[in-house]
Amino acid sequence: MSNNCKKVLLLVLASVSLSANAAITKTELAGNPLDEYPWFEYVRAFNTLMHVRIAIDPTRYPGIVNKTCDIYVVNHKTPAVWAVDNSLVDVTPGGALPHTFVAGTIQANTVSVVPNLSLSDDAGWNLGRRYDVVLDCNRNGKLDGDDFVDGDWREAGFYEVADTTRPGPFLVNTVSYNLPSDLATTYGIPAMFRAETVWYPRSIATIQRKLPLIVISHGNGYLPTYYDYIGRHLASWGYVVMAHSTDTEPGPVTAAATTLEHTDAFLDGTEAGTLVSGALSGRIDSHRIGLLGHSRGGEGVVIAYHNLFTSTVTPAHFSKSDIKLVDSMAPTDIWWTSGTGGVGISHPHDANYHLWVAAGDMDVLGDPADPRWQSQPIADRATKYKQVSVIHGMGHRQFSDVPEPPSIDGPCQLTTPEAHSMLLGYLLPLVEHYLDGNVPSLDFLTRQYEFFHPRGIGLENPCIVMANEYRNGAAKGNFVIDDFQWNMAPDMSSAPGGVTWTVDNLVEGRLDDNNGSYNYDPADPFNGAIFGAAPDTTRGVTFDWTGDDRYIQWQVPKVANDFTKYAMLSFRAAQASRHPNTVAAIEDLKFAVELRDSAGRTSTININAYGAGLQEPYQRSGGWFDEMETVRLRNTDFLNNGSGLDLTSIVAVKLKFGPSWGSNEGRIVLDDLMLTNDGMP
């Protein structure tokens, strides 16, 4: 929060206080109980079928002890609105809930406030209906005095989210055509690549704002119409989607060219009213564009952004800053190391970048000996916001509606409808977050799949599994403890700071399966880590433990001792492919994280407390690979139940492994240990 915003919030809260000695407390309240320490997680998003509970820790807020407060769930108000109207109107079926808070633990002060199915998730074309939680401790039906509130100027206390796999509120029109020859010629589009299909809300003429644009570039041998399921879904939620004929046969370089040419021509033609019968004239926001590509088209959208980044191409109707998301579905990576295309053009640079990986892919992952056909290095080149979603049992062709076999290698194969449900359920939050700044979408992108996922993706099929990786790329609000890119000796972190360990076989180096076999080989410590190849520089560390308690510990430099400046401690990690310790127990891997302050006090949280450990690798017969997941721990969770930890003076972060802390044995690859906030892209 900026200083100006803080001042506004403090002034507004002061204006609704009853006395000079009273102070409203802004704090997290809504969330879910956990089965072990820290016993409660604070979250933003709730599926409609979920209970909403609140919790407050009496050791952090001793003033709540022995107070009877009325718990209100109210429609969200900004501080400016509270200043005008601080009355409390509860929206739950039972009305405000009186509750007496007690001394002791956060578990003893956890209260169910919203039963299943009792709050509306109808937010129109937005994802997530906004609610605040208020503890009215003077019981006067107003937000004032010594009350507590969850919700502020930037976001609500919590959001009830609709099923993201289901269509949105708009009926959809679909139009297919070939670009007029004069328009296509103006932008250099060859005669055989002029087809476009457009999906848009049928009632677009009545919508009071311009709509973001999603551009889809297809794979080799595919057609624009093969992505109808994506176009219809996003258009039903208030987006204009255009899929175009993509010149993929020569490769992703020509695919990138047609992507930029079609986007430019489409913006020209729709604004002029020469396309789609003029229905989109004045209706598209050319400053909010997402590029979505599949296979060679998926690499093509990355090269397209690279061309904008390097000013190799200068479109007439949009620029690099207008591209809010680059999203690749199972892309190739053939133009990174190929001398024909030049080194380094498959690079997302500072784009908000997302990568979809089909774990059973027989195309881009079909040849483990050839790094040019492995898609994951593209994501590791991204320098700002970065995400990866790995879907187990999904094949290369299932990103489209192509009427061919799905091309899957491995167990637990998904049907195409199941694969599409997974993709749509996460694609909508992804687009909403990066193109619309939607707040609750971030929960879908960062929380463990096992504990929170789109409602339409059922758990009745145990084969439906996803591993999600997320890195906040904000220019401010992040501090890297160790990304292994600097101070490359294992005993010195990037921060810098000292690193000590008792784990076995620790090796720091490039995240590159250098022999391409995916089989365990002591001489290839990063077996299965297909995140980089020459000339990539992505690095990490790998190590293992067997039967005994072990650790790795990072010294935190003085500049970052105050963890209260950051919301989360974050790192990404994966089980190492086919290592004997991985094969010994094909299940989620569990371990713990400890913080230590300057007085020697410690607090420890097991990563599986929030729903799951590190995902077991997908056992494709063509070779397993490491599936990075991001683990995020809220820093204030380490304070629960009077831990005594001083978050303003943290001197060490320790990962603890072994039978006392989770899995008896294991081997992992680890990277990007950092402190982070949820700064919006």
Reported as a single tens digit per residue, the pLDDT across 319-339 is 999 999 999 999 998 877 654
Which is more confident, 520 or 598?
598
The predicted-structure confidence for 451-487, as pLDDT tens digits, reads as follows 899 999 876 678 889 999 999 999 999 999 999 999 9
pLDDT score recorded for residue 151: 94
The predicted-structure confidence for 129-147, as pLDDT tens digits, reads as follows 999 999 999 999 999 999 9
Decide: 334 and 370 in contact? Cβ < 8 Å: no
Please state, in angstroms and rounded to a whole number, the distance separating the CA atoms of residues 624 and 465. Answer: 15
Average pLDDT of span 33-53? 94
pLDDT score recorded for residue 459: 64
pLDDT score recorded for residue 404: 81
Which is more confident, 375 or 1?
375
The predicted-structure confidence for 217-244, as pLDDT tens digits, reads as follows 999 999 999 999 999 999 999 999 999 9
The predicted-structure confidence for 72-122, as pLDDT tens digits, reads as follows 999 999 989 999 999 999 999 889 999 999 999 999 999 999 887 789 999
pLDDT score recorded for residue 106: 98
Res 10 pLDDT > 80: no
The whole-model pTM stands at: 0.94
The crossing angle, in degrees rounded to 10, of helices 228-236 and 416-436 is 40
Res 269 pLDDT > 70: yes
pLDDT score recorded for residue 372: 53
pLDDT band at 515 (very low <50, low <70, confident <90, very high): confident
Query: Which percentage of the chain shows pLDDT scores above 90?
Result: 81
Question: Where do we find the tokens 């999203």?
Answer: 327
pLDDT score recorded for residue 341: 46
Q: What stretches of 48-180 show up as alpha helix (H) in DSSP? A: 79-84
* Torsion on CA atoms 5, 6, 12, 14, rounded to nearest 10: -170
Which is more confident, 22 or 29?
29
pLDDT score recorded for residue 334: 83
Please state, in angstroms and rounded to a whole number, the distance separating the CA atoms of residues 2 and 91. Answer: 31
- The full 3-state SS of 607-628, as one line of letters, equals HHHHCCCECCCCCCCCCCCCCC
CA separation, residue 110 to residues 31, 104, 532, 555 (Å) = 10, 12, 45, 35
| Of the candidates 609, 592, 600, 597, the residue with the CA atom closest to the CA atom of residue 660 | 592
pLDDT band at 14 (very low <50, low <70, confident <90, very high): very low
Residues whose CB is less than 8 angstroms from the CB of residue 575 and which lie 6 or more positions away in sequence, other chains included: 582, 589, 614, 615, 616, 617, 626, 627, 666, 667, 668
Res 19 pLDDT > 50: no
- Which amino acid is residue 156, in one-letter code? A
Q: What stretches of 290-331 show up as alpha helix (H) in DSSP? A: 296-309
pLDDT band at 370 (very low <50, low <70, confident <90, very high): low
Provide the token pair at 593.
């994280």
Query: Does the N-terminal peptide bond of residue 496 adopt cis geometry, omega within 30 degrees of 0?
Result: yes
Please state, in angstroms and rounded to a whole number, the distance separating the CA atoms of residues 484 and 495. Answer: 9
pLDDT score recorded for residue 343: 56
pLDDT score recorded for residue 589: 97
* Structural domains present in the chain: 3-161 (no CATH), 173-471 (3.40.50.1820), 479-676 (2.60.120.430)
Res 434 pLDDT > 90: yes
Using a 10 angstrom Cβ sphere, with 0-12 exposed, 13-18 middle and 19 or more buried, the burial of residue 527 is buried
Task: Give DSSP secondary structure letters for 392-405.
Answer: TT--GGGGS--SS-
The predicted-structure confidence for 134-181, as pLDDT tens digits, reads as follows 999 999 999 999 999 999 888 999 999 999 999 999 999 999 999 999
pLDDT, averaged across the chain:
92
Half-sphere exposure in the Cβ direction for 397 (13 Å, CA): 16
Please, what is the end-to-end C-alpha distance for the chain in angstroms?
14
Query: Which percentage of the chain shows pLDDT scores above 70?
Result: 94
Task: Give DSSP secondary structure letters for 144-212.
Answer: -TT-EEE--SSS-SEEEE--TTS--SS-EEEEEEE--HHHHHHTT--GGG-EEEEEEETTGGG-SS-EE
Using a 10 angstrom Cβ sphere, with 0-12 exposed, 13-18 middle and 19 or more buried, the burial of residue 207 is middle
Q: Can you list the positions of beta strands (E) in 202-322? A: 211-217, 240-244, 284-294
pLDDT score recorded for residue 5: 42
pLDDT band at 539 (very low <50, low <70, confident <90, very high): very high
The predicted-structure confidence for 177-202, as pLDDT tens digits, reads as follows 999 999 999 999 999 999 999 999 99
The predicted-structure confidence for 604-655, as pLDDT tens digits, reads as follows 999 999 988 999 999 988 678 899 999 999 999 999 999 999 999 999 999 9
Res 255 pLDDT > 90: yes
pLDDT score recorded for residue 460: 67
Query: What is the helix (H) or strand (E) element at residue 9, kind and residue range?
Result: helix 3-15
pLDDT score recorded for residue 13: 41
Task: Indicate the SS3 state at residue 242.
Answer: strand
Q: What stretches of 314-451 show up as alpha helix (H) in DSSP? A: 334-337, 376-381, 416-436, 441-446
| Of the candidates 589, 600, 610, 595, the residue with the CA atom closest to the CA atom of residue 658 | 589
Res 367 pLDDT > 90: no
pLDDT score recorded for residue 375: 86
